[in-house]
Amino acid sequence: MDDETRREQGMRIRRQVLGDAHVDAVIERTTPITEQFHEFITRYAWGDIWSRPGLDLRTRSLVTVALLAALGRTDELGMHLRGALRNGVSPDELAEVLLHTGVYAGLPTANTGFRELGQMLDAEAER
């Protein structure tokens, strides 16, 4: 698959998971300095990895939430919690993933994840 096809496929999946509003906002904030990085993310993360047939998007969202929580990447966690909801994961399932993550990655990790989940759910309820 050529780079342009991977980019198109990546953008389609990125929009499906994160939503048009999020992706449009990222594109709007892209600068000449960040342009190549965003192209890389779109082609590689979304076009090559998220599009693989071995896991569905729902499962990939669950794995991503667990990994981001375990690594303490709260700057990305909220975005992927919302993406998980878009991919059919329920709030209760997200809570289970965070509980499970807390056992293996530490209770402070789960505490932070639950805070992010609560903030995300509050924001979604306000919409």
Q: Are residues 19 and 66 in the same domain?
A: no
List the domain range (segments joined by +) for residue 121: 55-127
Taking the CB of residue 50, how many other CB atoms lie within 10 A of it? 20
pLDDT on residue 127 = 82
Cα separation, 19 vs 16, in Å, equals: 6
pLDDT, tens digit, for every residue of 65-86?
999 999 999 999 999 999 999 9
Q: How many domains, the chain? A: 2
State whether 37 and 84 are in the same domain.
no
Q: What was the pLDDT predicted at 124?
A: 87
SS (H, E, C) 62-126: HHHHHHHHHHCCHHHHHHHHHHHHHCCCCHHHHHHHHHHHHHHHCHHHHHHHHHHHHHHHHHHHH
Model confidence at 95: pLDDT above 90: yes
1, pLDDT greater than 80: no
